[in-house]
Amino acid sequence: MKIEIWTDGSSRGNPGKGGWGSIIITKDEVIELGGSDKMTTNNKMELLASIEGLKEIEGNIIKETKEVTVCTDSQYVKKGMTEWIDGWIAKDWKGSTKKPVMNQDLWKALKKEEDRLKNSGIKIIWKYVKAHCGIALNERADEIATMLADGHNVELYRGDRSGYNIVF
Decide if 92 is catalytic.
Answer: no
Active site residue 73: yes
| Distances, alpha carbon 155 to alpha carbons 3, 90, 141, in Å | 22, 42, 12
Q: State the catalytic residue, choosing from 4, 52, 113, 142.
A: 142
Active-site residue among 8, 52, 113, 114?
A: 8
Q: Which of 4, 32, 37, 46 is catalytic?
A: 46
Query: What is the C-alpha to C-alpha distance for residues 86 and 6, in angstroms, rounded to an integer?
Result: 24
User: Residues 34, 156: contact at Cβ < 8 Å?
Assistant: yes
The reply to whether 142 belongs to the active site is: yes
Degrees, nearest 5: CA angle 54-61-107 = 15
One of 9, 18, 21, 34 is an active-site residue; which one? 9
Angle among Cα 26, 145, 34 to the nearest 5 degrees reads: 50
Choosing from 4, 32, 73, 114, the catalytic residue is 73
In whole angstroms, what is the distance from residue 56 CA to residue 22 CA?
Answer: 10
Order of strands across the sheet that contains 29-40: 123-128, 67-72, 2-12, 16-25, 29-40, 158-160
CB-based contacts of 84: which residues, under 8 Å, 6+ apart? 95
Q: Is 155 a catalytic residue?
A: no
103 neighbors 81 (Cβ within 8 angstroms): no
Choice among 59, 92, 132, 134 that is catalytic: 132
Catalytic positions, written as ranges: 8-9, 46, 73, 132, 142
